[in-house]
Structure 1
Amino acid sequence: MILYVKPYTGIRHDSTLYLVQALHVLNPGIFGRDLFFLAGSQADFTIFPQLVAFLLKVVEPGPAFLAFSLFGRVAFYAASAYLIVGVFPARWRWPAVFALIIMPTGYGAFSIFSYAEPFFTARPISEALSLLALGLLVRNRIWASILVFALAGALHPLQGLAAVIVAWCWLVQGERRWLWSLCMIIPVTLLAWLNVGPLQGLFRSIDAEWREMIVGVSTQVYLGKWTPRDWCIVLTDIYLLSLLSVRGVAGGISARFAKATLWAVAVGLACSALLSDVLQLVLPTGLQLWRVLWVAHWLAVAAVPLLVWESWNDSRRGKIPALLLLSIALIGTSIPHSTLPWAVLGLIPLHLAWPYVAGKVGEGARKLLVVGVVAAMLIAAVRYELKALDVFAALDNNLELMRVDVVMLSYPLVLATLVVAAAICFRRANRFGQTLFAALSLIAVAGALTVWDSRSPWTHVQESATGVNVFGYDVPENASVFWYASEPSPLGPWLVLRRANYFSPFQLSGQMFNRDTPFIGRELENQIDPVVIQAGICDFVTRSDSRAEPCRVSKPGLESLCTAHGRLQPPDYFVLPFDQREHVRGRWAVRHPATGEVLLSQYLYKCTDWISGLKETNSKGRG
Structure 2
Amino acid sequence: MAALLHLRRYAGINHDAVLYLGQGLLQRWPEIFGVDPFFAFGSQEKYSLFPKLLGVLFGLADPPTVFLYGTLAGLLLFAAASWYLLLALLPPGQRYMAWLGSIVLPSLYGGMSGMFGYSEQFLTPRLITEGLVLLSIGSLVRSHWVSAIAALLVAALFHPLQAVAGLLVIWSWLVIRDRRWLYLLLGVVPLLLAGWYGMPPFRGFFTQIDQEWLSSLQEFSRQLFVSMWNPADYNLLAFDLLVALYAARKFPDLFGKWMAAAIVGLAIGLASSLILVDVLHLALPAALQLWRVHWLAHWFAMVALGVLFFRDASSDGWPRMMLLALAVLLAWAGIFWLWIPAFIGYWIWPRLICRIPRRAVFLLGIGFALGCVFFFINYLTTELLRFRLAHYRLDLYAIDRRLLAFPIAGTALLLSAIFLWRSLQFHLRAVATLLILMPVLVIGVIRWDSRPLLNKTFEDAVFRSDIFGFEVPEAAQVYWNADSLTGPWLVLRRASYFSPGQLAGGVFNRATLVESGERINRLRPLIEQSMWCTDRSHSSEERAGCHIDSAAMRQACAGGSGRRPDYLVLEFNQPERAIGTWEIIDPVTSAVATTFRMFSCADIDGG
- Amino acid of the structure 1 residue aligned with 2:255: S
- Amino acid of the structure 2 residue aligned with 1:327: L
Tell me which moved more, 172-181 or 383-392. 383-392
Query: Structure 2 vs 1, CA of residues 355 and 548 (structure 1 numbering), >3 Å: closer, same or farther?
Result: closer
SS of equivalent residue, structure 1 residue 412: coil
Structure 1 residue 224 displacement after superposition: 0.8
2:56 paired residue number: 54
- Amino acid of the structure 2 residue aligned with 1:392: F
- Amino acid of the structure 2 residue aligned with 1:77: A
1:585 paired residue number: 579
* 2:58 paired with 1:64: no
Match of 1:480 among 477, 482, 485: 477
SS of equivalent residue, structure 1 residue 467: coil
Q: Distance in 1 between matches of 2:478 and 2:204?
A: 33
Q: Distance in 2 between matches of 1:426 and 1:351?
A: 28
TM-score by length of 1: 0.91
Structure 1 residue 77 displacement after superposition: 0.4
* 2:375 paired with 1:380: yes
SS of equivalent residue, structure 1 residue 246: helix
- Amino acid of the structure 2 residue aligned with 1:120: L
* 2:176 paired with 1:173: yes
Q: In the TM superposition, what are the counterparts of 1:25-174 in structure 2 within 5 Å?
A: 25-111=27-113, 112-174=115-177
Q: Distance in 1 between matches of 2:87 and 2:543?
A: 61
- Amino acid of the structure 1 residue aligned with 2:96: W
SS of equivalent residue, structure 2 residue 478: strand
8 Å Cα contact 1:340/1:380 also seen in 2: no
1:414 paired residue number: 409
- Amino acid of the structure 1 residue aligned with 2:89: V
Query: Structure 2 vs 1, CA of residues 430 and 360 (structure 1 numbering), >3 Å: closer, same or farther?
Result: closer
8 Å Cα contact 2:478/2:567 also seen in 1: yes
1:576 paired residue number: 570
SS of equivalent residue, structure 1 residue 477: coil
1:279 paired residue number: 280
Match of 1:470 among 453, 467, 470: 467
SS of equivalent residue, structure 1 residue 75: helix
Q: Distance in 2 between matches of 1:549 and 1:277?
A: 45
SS of equivalent residue, structure 1 residue 37: coil
Query: Structure 2 vs 1, CA of residues 357 and 464 (structure 1 numbering), >3 Å: closer, same or farther?
Result: closer
8 Å Cα contact 2:319/2:368 also seen in 1: no
8 Å Cα contact 1:228/1:342 also seen in 2: no
Q: Distance in 2 between matches of 1:569 and 1:144?
A: 50
Q: Distance in 2 between matches of 1:381 and 1:114?
A: 22
Q: Distance in 2 between matches of 1:406 and 1:541?
A: 25
SS of equivalent residue, structure 1 residue 511: helix
TM-score by length of 2: 0.93
8 Å Cα contact 1:229/1:342 also seen in 2: no
8 Å Cα contact 1:236/1:328 also seen in 2: no
2:261 paired residue number: 260
Q: Distance in 2 between matches of 1:553 and 1:351?
A: 57
Q: Distance in 1 between matches of 2:310 and 2:219?
A: 44
Match of 1:432 among 416, 427, 430: 427
Tell me which moved more, 340-349 or 519-528. 340-349
Match of 1:200 among 203, 207, 221: 203
1:24 paired residue number: 26
8 Å Cα contact 1:123/1:156 also seen in 2: yes
SS of equivalent residue, structure 1 residue 240: helix
Q: In the TM superposition, what are the counterparts of 1:223-302 in structure 2 within 5 Å?
A: 223-247=226-250, 251-302=252-303
Q: Distance in 1 between matches of 2:505 and 2:540?
A: 39
- Amino acid of the structure 2 residue aligned with 1:21: Q
SS of equivalent residue, structure 1 residue 140: coil
- Amino acid of the structure 2 residue aligned with 1:305: G
Match of 2:452 among 456, 467, 470: 456
**CA deviation profile, 1:358-403 (whole Å, cap 9, x unmatched):** 5555678756644543343233322322232333334344322211
Structure 1 residue 320 displacement after superposition: 5.1
Q: Distance in 2 between matches of 1:140 and 1:3?
A: 33
Query: Structure 2 vs 1, CA of residues 193 and 208 (structure 1 numbering), >3 Å: closer, same or farther?
Result: same
- Amino acid of the structure 1 residue aligned with 2:447: V
Q: In the TM superposition, what are the counterparts of 1:208-227 in structure 2 within 5 Å?
A: 208-227=211-230
Tell me which moved more, 37-46 or 543-552. 543-552
SS of equivalent residue, structure 1 residue 574: strand
Size of the aligned set, in residue pairs, is 602
- Amino acid of the structure 2 residue aligned with 1:553: I
Q: Distance in 2 between matches of 1:307 and 1:550?
A: 56
Query: Structure 2 vs 1, CA of residues 514 and 247 (structure 1 numbering), >3 Å: closer, same or farther?
Result: same
Q: RMSD over aligned Cα, in angstroms?
A: 2.4
SS of equivalent residue, structure 1 residue 400: coil
**CA deviation profile, 1:97-136 (whole Å, cap 9, x unmatched):** 1111210001112221100001011111010001000100
Q: Distance in 1 between matches of 2:297 and 2:522?
A: 43
Q: Distance in 1 between matches of 2:314 and 2:592?
A: 60
Structure 1 residue 497 displacement after superposition: 0.7
8 Å Cα contact 1:584/1:605 also seen in 2: yes
1:563 paired residue number: 558
- Amino acid of the structure 2 residue aligned with 1:260: A
- Amino acid of the structure 2 residue aligned with 1:284: P
2:192 paired residue number: 189
8 Å Cα contact 2:559/2:605 also seen in 1: no
Query: Structure 2 vs 1, CA of residues 545 and 269 (structure 1 numbering), >3 Å: closer, same or farther?
Result: closer
Task: Show structure 1 runs of 5+ residues with no match.
Answer: 616-623
Q: Distance in 1 between matches of 2:544 and 2:377?
A: 40
1:601 paired residue number: 595
Query: Structure 2 vs 1, CA of residues 504 and 178 (structure 1 numbering), >3 Å: closer, same or farther?
Result: same
Q: Distance in 2 between matches of 1:341 and 1:402?
A: 30
1:620 paired residue number: none
- Amino acid of the structure 2 residue aligned with 1:233: L
Q: Distance in 2 between matches of 1:594 and 1:311?
A: 47
- Amino acid of the structure 1 residue aligned with 2:404: L
Q: In the TM superposition, what are the counterparts of 1:486-565 in structure 2 within 5 Å?
A: 488-540=483-535, 544-545=539-540, 550-564=545-559
8 Å Cα contact 1:42/1:513 also seen in 2: yes
Query: Structure 2 vs 1, CA of residues 457 and 420 (structure 1 numbering), >3 Å: closer, same or farther?
Result: same
Q: Distance in 2 between matches of 1:14 and 1:540?
A: 24
Query: Structure 2 vs 1, CA of residues 257 and 60 (structure 1 numbering), >3 Å: closer, same or farther?
Result: same
8 Å Cα contact 1:586/1:604 also seen in 2: yes
8 Å Cα contact 2:327/2:340 also seen in 1: no
- Amino acid of the structure 1 residue aligned with 2:191: V
Task: Show structure 2 runs of 5+ residues with no match.
Answer: none
- Amino acid of the structure 1 residue aligned with 2:568: F
8 Å Cα contact 1:243/1:307 also seen in 2: no
Structure 1 residue 356 displacement after superposition: 5.6
Query: Structure 2 vs 1, CA of residues 5 and 313 (structure 1 numbering), >3 Å: closer, same or farther?
Result: closer
**CA deviation profile, 1:432-489 (whole Å, cap 9, x unmatched):** 211011223123212211121111222222101112221111111111101112xx22
Q: Distance in 2 between matches of 1:542 and 1:30?
A: 39
SS of equivalent residue, structure 1 residue 509: helix
Tell me which moved more, 349-358 or 41-50. 349-358
Query: Structure 2 vs 1, CA of residues 284 and 398 (structure 1 numbering), >3 Å: closer, same or farther?
Result: same
SS of equivalent residue, structure 1 residue 271: helix
8 Å Cα contact 1:265/1:296 also seen in 2: yes
8 Å Cα contact 1:23/1:53 also seen in 2: yes
